[in-house]
Structure 1
């Protein structure tokens, strides 16, 4: 059972300003698009092993790349002496090869700075013009704070591979944290954008809403597991399917010396868990699409379609050993699946915006 209610009934006046709501909503979509671009550039940075090419965190001056030969030599020397990635994996790398990975990491950081500027300046302008409400401002300040935290988390992630760490990549659990926060930010932008709509929200019974929340939780966990797989290059290790290393459960699933760290550091464990959650999400999305055919404005069906597509793409990506373009496409569609579940929960939610 579901029904539609008016904007006044669900209290949209608490977050939707009387003037300028359309402009604010367009701006929120621009922010969400920039964060999505950051996720994709971050994916390329990871897949090209570019993340450790810049060994320092300079939030302001770091926006300027090396401008001459001496600057490039200095940055290259820092990479050579401060990362085990160079010593153990890239020893003998040429300067031109270093520039390639440097520019990907620099571009990723620059895009993060751009998001901050594009967020803060229009936000303050909207506030001055009376295009916000107290509740909207609180939510926007929270999103801005999360963006600042993301910059710190990004350096915390990179620092795990700088120094005498014996790592040739960043710590996978830190990569997962960084990626999860990006999803939280883009999800928050989309949720706020939806909350400022003039159209009524679909209010479904509690059972439908609970299933929507379950889909969001499983999709979020699946994305987090995917970040661990990416951080360990696990998608390029076991490339047979539907079996894994010729078995239902790979022999290397549990390394007793790692203990609970198997869940974040064992290649076999992380890929196996990612596969299992993929099956759970696929089954759950198909089941709810048939069970709640007309609920939530059709978003159960849309979510199921996205999950089916992502599942097929995931298998193809795995079989081909996760080449750059397939790995990036898999991450891009995975983010769409996550946002689809966010929209689904919003449409099903009886929570009132007051």
Structure 2
């Protein structure tokens, strides 16, 4: 009897101590959220450092974020009506899993863009003359290869460009286009299966679910846009001397759609792993707001420049001289039959439609034929001279705009991660311009052309990351921030 009383007393005392500890923990957690900046410097450091959860891999050594802090900020944000609204529920592990999946999907789209550029530069895009949404097996026997080759022989590209090519050469361009199409279908599987799993586990909120569903629908539509583009290149050109190629408008639509999908996936992934921007003080938040006002118009210029590159590619504005040289080599009778006026016309074609020179376009700064087409608006999308001139002006404007952004933010009091990110963007812009000039002067080799296209998407990635980093923090985080940052070295 005495022993049972002693045990009961010990249990009651232990329970009282545990309740006391639990209440203290709850008070501590609540104070970290609602305390003012002057009364609790430790709480502000904890909450703000939690926003660096997804940012730490880029700028290690500046701060020391922890996963525990991220978990605490996540749970607080879900309970506090004034806090941030998380896109993923289920704790830091769920956030990490969904973030890896979204960044992986974005990287897949990035590789799709690069592979699409290689397909275009190797003139492989028109090798497959039919299309099925679900795809199919490639030719597996000599007879099946012969049938596919016969289909290609009926296309304008074979008749005017690749006439007499061997079946081995055909297999190369066929495999390039087949890989590009199947890589896109593979992305659909890689996206859909984890999406279904995370929905079933209850990790994805309604807001995130609607956003990802829209991106998935756009990705599915990208296949239709791709075939719509290819189909334009399988039609007979309007002139017997014109080279078969896809519509520059459809090529621009296809590339723009890919950029939109990539940007949506990358932005959403950042929002999942970094629900709060890096902010250690009110002063840094104000500095980030000033950067945001400059970064948005610069991002717009970067996007327009990238899209204008699609019209350069669609009009063969860089490599037309090479095609024309090949045409003259294989049509010597045509050259011999030209009179003086005809040969002068050929020279004008060289100067007005190729321009593999820099900084001048041929012998002039501005070609004479930039407004030859009627109505006037067509020149900006179909006139090779105007399209390339526009792209050069936009590329130069992009470089100077990013440089001006860097200069304008040098004296601002901003987060070190933001400052480093702006510096990286300036370096990438300079590299991209260098790649563009090198591609132009070397008549568009596949390696440089692909690197230039990848560089455009990399520069866009940095601008997306910059805009996401300088966004406004949640109300709960703003209330907890001190006026001056207290860094941990």
Instruction: Say whether the fold is shared (TM-score over 0.5).
Output: yes
| Structure 2 match to 1:226 | 309
Whether the 8 Å CA contact 2:277–2:473 is kept in 1: the answer is: no
Structure 1 Cα separation of the partners of residues 454 and 289 of structure 2: 31
Alpha-carbon distance in 2 for matches of 1:307, 1:198? 25
Q: Corresponding residue for 1:130?
A: 202
Query: Aligned residue for 1:76?
Result: 149
CA shift for structure 1 position 210: 2.4
Instruction: Decide which moves more: 3-12 or 161-170.
Output: 3-12
Show CA shifts across 1:108-134 (max 9, x none): 000000000000011001111122111
CA contact (8 A) 2:380 2:386 kept: yes
Residue 110 of structure 1, aligned match among 173, 182, 203: 182
Q: How do 1:300-339 and structure 2 match up within 5 A?
A: 300-339=422-461
- Judged with a 3 Å threshold, the aligned counterparts in structure 2 of structure 1 residues 48 and 273 are, in CA distance, closer, same or farther, namely same
The answer to whether the 8 Å contact 2:248/2:310 transfers is yes
Partner of 1:345: 467
Q: How far apart, in 1, do the equivalents of 2:217 and 2:409 lie?
A: 37
- Report what 1:65 is aligned to: 138
CA distance 1:258–1:162, change in 2 (3 Å): farther
Structure 2 equivalent of residue 241 of structure 1: 358
Change (3 A) 1:92 1:117: same
Query: Is the deviation greater in 87-96 or in 249-258?
Result: 249-258
Alpha-carbon displacement from aligned partner over 1:234-258 (angstroms, at most 9, x marks no partner) = 1232111111112111123222346
What's the CA shift for 1:187? 0.7
- Aligned counterparts of 1:315 and 1:11: Cα–Cα separation in 2: 48
Q: Distance in 2 between matches of 1:239 and 1:274?
A: 13
- Partner residue, 2:480: none
Distance 1:351 1:242, change over 3 A: farther
Superposed counterparts of 1:27-38, under 5 Å:
27-38=101-112
Q: Is the 8 A contact 1:12 1:196 kept in 2?
A: no
Alpha-carbon distance change, 11 to 67 in structure 1, aligned in 2, over 3 angstroms: farther
Whether contact under 8 Å (2:298, 2:398) holds in the other structure is yes
Aligned residues between the structures? 349
Match of 1:297 in 2: 418
Provide, for residues 152-208 of structure 1, a one-character-per-residue CA deviation record: whole Å limited to 9, x for no partner.
Answer: 110110111123345511111111110111111111111001111246315456542
1:1-354 aligned at under 5 Å gives the runs 8=77, 12-19=84-91, 20-60=94-134, 62-81=135-154, 83-166=155-238, 168-198=244-274, 200-202=276-278, 203=285, 204=287, 206-236=289-319, 237-257=354-374, 259-293=376-410, 294=414, 297-298=418-419, 299-350=421-472
Q: From the superposition, tell whether residues 310 and 198 of structure 1 become closer, same or farther in structure 2 (CA, over 3 Å).
A: closer
- Contact residue 399 and residue 429 of structure 2 kept, 8 A: yes
TM-superposition CA deviations, 1:56-106 (whole Å, max 9, x none): 11122x33111112221221121111x211111111111111111111110
1:139-160 C-alpha deviation (Å, 9 max, x unpaired): 1111101101111110110111
| Change in 2 beyond 3 A, CA 1:252/1:150 | same
> Counterparts of 2:435 and 2:157 in 1: how far apart (Å)?
30
Distance 1:33 1:24 in 2: 14
TM-score, structure 1 as length reference: 0.92
Consecutive unaligned residues in structure 1, runs of 5 or more: none
Deviates more, 1:109-118 or 1:9-18: 9-18
The farther-off stretch of 320-329 and 259-268 is: 259-268
SS at match of 2:123: coil
The structure with the largest alpha-carbon Rg is 2
Task: Give the superposition deviation at 1:231.
Answer: 1.7
CA contact (8 A) 1:282 1:311 kept: yes
Give the secondary-structure state (helix, strand or coil) at the position aligned to 2:273: coil
CA–CA separation in structure 2 for the residues paired with 1:111 and 1:67:
19
What TM-score do the two structures reach when normalised by structure 2? 0.68
Native 8 Å contact 1:11 1:352 kept in 2: yes
C-alpha contact 1:16 1:195 (8 A) present in aligned 2? no
Structure 2 residue runs of 5 or longer lacking an equivalent are: 1-44, 52-72, 279-284, 320-353, 476-489
